[in-house]
């Protein structure tokens, strides 16, 4: 979603919107977005409003807060 490169699913993390909170989960119900577990990919997705498009809702900065740590540790 951020760098727009194709990769095997094992190399990506899935971010899902669960009860208004962004969570890393491969099995959470609902819409999800796949992302490389790198800071640059996360920044690109945020700058392009990729989360808004992928999850079909408006994601606030408060919801994005703390996602960086989760993504980098989710590798």
Residue 20: per-residue pLDDT: 86
pTM for the structure as a whole: 0.81
Residue 16: per-residue pLDDT: 93
Residues in the chain: 75
Q: How high is the mean pLDDT in each 10-residue block of the chain (75 residues)?
A: 87 90 90 90 91 92 82 69
Residue 3: per-residue pLDDT: 86
For residue 32, count CB atoms less than 10 angstroms from its CB and return exposed for 0-12, middle for 13-18, buried for 19 or more: buried
Residue 2: per-residue pLDDT: 82
Q: Where are the domains of the chain?
A: 9-73
Query: Using a CB cutoff of 8 Å and minimum separation of 24, what contacts does 29-34 make?
Result: 31/55, 31/56, 33/1, 34/1, 34/9
């Amino acid at each position: 979603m951020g760098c727009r490169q194709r990769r095997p699913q094992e190399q990506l993390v899935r971010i899902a919107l669960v009860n208004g909170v962004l969570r890393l989960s491969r099995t959470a119900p609902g819409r999800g977005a796949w992302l490389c577990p790198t800071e640059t990919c996360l920044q690109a997705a945020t700058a392009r409003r990729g989360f808004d498009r992928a999850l079909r809702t408006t994601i606030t900065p408060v919801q994005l807060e703390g996602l960086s740590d989760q993504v980098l540790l989710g590798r």
